[in-house]
Amino acid sequence: MAVCPIETRYKTEMNSLFDEQARLLSWLEVEVALAKAHAKLGNIPKGAAEEIEKGAKKVSLQRVLEIENEIHHDLMAMVRALSEQCPKYGGYVHYGATSYDIEDTATGLVMKRALGRIEERLKDTMKLLGGLALKHKKTVCIARTHGQHAVPTTYGMKFALYYQEAKRNLQRLEWAGKRIAVGKMSGAAGTMATFRGKGFEVQQAVMRELGLEPVAVANQVVQRDRHAEVLFVLALIASGMEKIAKEIRNLQRTEIMEVAEPFSAKQVGSSTMPHKRNPHKCERVCSLARLVRSNVAVAMENIALEHERDLTNSANERFIFAQSFIITDYMLSQMNKILAGLEFFPQNIRRNLELTGGAVMAERVMIELTERGMGRQEAHELMRQSAIEARQSGKRLFEVVAAKKEVAALIKRAELEKLFDPSTYIGEAERIVENAVKE
């Protein structure tokens, strides 16, 4: 029975890269590459590499776990299990390598593949965000700053903003991917002494076989700043998804209700309140983002290992690598479903736009008064006082301002009325959106 929810509730295709079977296969993949490199360089018989490659296909996880239970060393358990499948050349398995030559190189291989999956998922998110931005580039709504109504904006602006952030994270994925797609084959302290003068050749040949880059220098491990960077980028992606989810949650509040996450016909919102339509999918995204971010702190602690290495990174990495990748993948998957089915309520968008009785157009009138000769500070104070008066009297701001002699002397009533149309005060919003998602 599973204990961790990433094995059940939050499971995605990403799990197949991080489960025990996948871990074993990645180690075997590196061992085979090492044997091939040795054979090419004449360090071991050609037949040895062939037997090791065939033997790797026969190694079972069950046998590895049995051996590990006896010797209490997971990597060496794999080495022995592989050696058992190589009756003639088993003595050449793991030749010249230390445990983390295999483990860290395998980690680079797995993370390279895992980042590729995250990249594809994020590209799907960008496609959805870009489509929503263009579709709603003219959907005028109220902008909110400090939780208060500010000035008109468009929903296209919101989604274009998220699109650009996702684009930056896609670039970060690429950069981090280059720095993590590496491996080492340099022995216990990184000196390559066990390869007897052919260390660089062995390392290069192994990495070429695996499609990785060799690190320029290592001690017993690939340095953990690389892994911390990857987890930090995943945390940035998770935080970006949280930003979108939090906005949807707030806009789905009963008194706002401008947009809402998808809600199926048979979905239940509350166990006791039948009327509830809770934004639980967005809340889940926000909750999981906290977990992904927390793993970054652990990864940062792993950077400062003692001397040429200690083992304080090993146990926690069994959690944080798989957890961060799987949860981020799940969050992206969920957000893509939310965005694909996002529901809009135009009548509420319009209602909220007009909720302040035109007060949100005060800036526009202030600018117009300044253009027509009134001092900017004087215009600001006039509109500030007018807004207070409108709130206290319950009148629309237009009525209050239209009655001001200072305003009437500069702006005709018909012109003033047009200034209070929020749909005509969105500046360059349409072009901003188009430029932001043009690719």
Taking only the tens of pLDDT, the chain with its 439 residues reads 778 888 999 999 999 999 999 999 999 999 999 999 999 999 999 999 999 999 999 999 999 999 999 999 999 999 999 999 999 999 999 999 999 999 999 999 999 999 999 999 999 999 999 999 999 999 999 999 999 999 999 999 999 999 999 999 999 999 999 999 999 999 999 999 999 999 999 999 999 999 999 999 999 999 999 999 999 999 999 999 999 999 999 999 999 999 999 887 787 777 778 887 889 999 999 999 999 999 999 999 999 999 999 999 999 999 999 999 999 999 999 999 999 999 999 999 999 999 999 999 999 999 999 999 999 999 999 999 999 999 999 999 999 999 999 999 999 999 999 999 999 999 999 999 999 999 7
CA distances from residue 400 to 302, 371, 377 in whole angstroms, order as listed: 64, 20, 19
Report pTM.
Answer: 0.94
The domain defined by 359-419 carries CATH number 2.40.50.110: no
Max CA pair span of the chain = 103
Q: What residues does CATH 1.20.200.10 cover in the chain?
A: 116-179+221-265+275-355+428-439
Those residues whose C-beta lies under 8 Å from the C-beta of residue 313, and which sit 6 or more positions away, are 221, 224, 302, 305
Those residues whose C-beta lies under 8 Å from the C-beta of residue 401, and which sit 6 or more positions away, are 365, 383, 386, 407, 416
Which residues are tagged catalytic? 146, 270
Q: Which helix or strand (DSSP H or E) is residue 266 part of?
A: none
What sign does the CA torsion over 310, 315, 321, 324 have?
negative
Instruction: Answer yes or no: are the C-beta atoms of 317 and 104 closer than 8 Å.
Output: no
Spacing of C-alpha 33 from chain mean position: 32
Instruction: Answer yes or no: are the C-beta atoms of 152 and 370 closer than 8 Å.
Output: no
* CATH number of this structure's domain 116-179+221-265+275-355+428-439, picked from the four choices 1.10.3720.10, 3.10.150.10, 1.20.200.10, 3.40.50.300: 1.20.200.10
Instruction: Answer yes or no: are the C-beta atoms of 210 and 32 closer than 8 Å.
Output: no
Q: What residues does CATH 1.10.40.30 cover in the chain?
A: 359-419
Q: Alpha-carbon distance 8 to 3, whole Å? A: 9
Burial 65-87 (b: 16+ CB within 10 A, else e): eebbeeeeebbebbbbbbbebbe
